[in-house]
Structure 1
Amino acid sequence: MSTDNEPIKLEFNKKDWADQRPTWCPGCGDFGVLTATKDAVVELQLDPEQTVVVSGIGCSSNFPHFIGSYGIHTLHGRANPVAQGIKLANPDLNVIVAGGDGDGLAIGIGGFVHAARRNVDLTYIVMDNQVYGLTVNQVSPTSGLDRKTTSTPFGNIEQPLNPISMALAAGATFVARTFSGEKEQFADILRQAIEHKGFAFIDDLSPCVTFNKINTYDYWRERVYKLEETDYQSNDLAKAMEKALEWDDKVPLGIIYKEDRPTYDQMDYALQEVGNPVKRGAQKLSDDVKNKILADHY
């Protein structure tokens, strides 16, 4: 039996995390990511009002519209810089970045690399479909060689980027690869990524059923294997780099690298000395202003 002094603890469920109906193509791999993300945040009992999902531009960047937390749909490639600002302004928030390979590994690559090297405490999910889908079938930074699209009618001549090795080289302290066809594994890895203190990166193989007829669900199912079913240990950076290079015939899924290292906000003198900037500012507001903000919000 509770007493008057005990706070009432609410239990969150999937309905609390529901929002608009997704507008992705039927069969899009991003559905698997969205479903598993809701499973993970409910399992962790994250408060939607203490969570922010940030995205850039692209099919997958519509993610914040389809999940019932706070969200910011930013400019092309600017999700990570905005997410860093949110996390450092209010370190108490759960910050998740969601986007695609075109958004995050092309124009957004700088924000990705610097968020990783700073070890800002946020989770970055890339729904990697190896194509620009929103603009109707152009090569992306992860498209394979010789891939023919509307922008490369004679085949792609650009070497594809390796998101895993890039995250490792940049200094990310949690690096994993998942597959939209393995939703339970994704949910488990995302739970660990969110709980990890530091920059957590997940490269999800997310098939585009409309424009990418090569990297399909069947294509990946024939090639992926789970690291947790082997004796692989994720605490060795050199071995993680070796795993990052496994690709064509064997593609590892799971946590590839994990290490504990102080986060940016833990090392920042000002944040440590004066505390949460947003809450500190709110404490200085008059009661009249606070009441007006609450009235406008609720």
Structure 2
Amino acid sequence: MIGKKIKKYRGKFNLTGTTLAKLAGINQPYLSEIENEKKVPTFDTFMRIITALASNGIIVDENASAILTKEVFNNFSNKITDYKIKKIKGDITQKELMLRWDGGKDWYCSKIEPNISFPELLVNTFYNGHIKRPKGSEFILNFMYSFSEIQTPLALWWYDYILKDFIYGNKIEKGSPNYNQEKELLLSVLSLENNNGVFTPFEADNSINLSKELLEGKTVTIDLRSTTDKNIRLLLDGQLLSNDELTAIKYTLNGIRYNRQNNELSGYFGRKRQGLIDEGYFDNKD
């Protein structure tokens, strides 16, 4: 199931196997084995593949209204106008350039579609280019996909959408040879979902490998209460702990607290303290 879906999104985004493998930092034969269900990727490899796919996501009806807002259009329009002034029109001012475009006299449009001005082509492409590409819109579309105010939220949208498709879409077939491995992988992925039900990119570069730090001679003190912190992710054998496993850890920690409390009460100072409580010198909260 995992490999087939990866292949589906690769095709949707018009990526070759070689390109996706390179973006994900793996070799193409390994990606081919994953896509053909011969191998199940490790958690880290899977997340790199998803990040590579999301970074090459496209504008579709489902995300267009969220990405292509009026504010983004205004900023994009100014950006592409400045670009054309600097790269094509030389010293002409933006006002002069817009007047020419509004009159349909811009050389860029006149060679493509004589009856359309550049502003009209710009609006058409920005809002409808993902449905039907207007004639001469290639330059604008390429500019759109490199524009950070479109590129970043688009990648985030696809990252969340793709992972939700893996988690909540078609279930893994129990009879498949990779059932257990795929189940463990998706459980690890599920733990990345935040309290708002959204998947956001996991940046390995921003994480700290404590084992490596310890090997370099550093002493690290960890408060186990922090395991419940939403910014902390715990791994075992390279896989993230599932929510059930984290719950098991919480029960274990509570058991340790209980044993400590009993040990304290059974020790000399514990017995002395209890005696003072019994005689009324303190209450049990002191």
Structure whose alpha-carbon radius of gyration is higher: 2
Give the TM-score taking structure 2 as reference length.
Answer: 0.23
**The structure with more helix, counted as a fraction of residues:** 2
Give the TM-score taking structure 1 as reference length.
Answer: 0.22
**The structure with more strand, counted as a fraction of residues:** 1
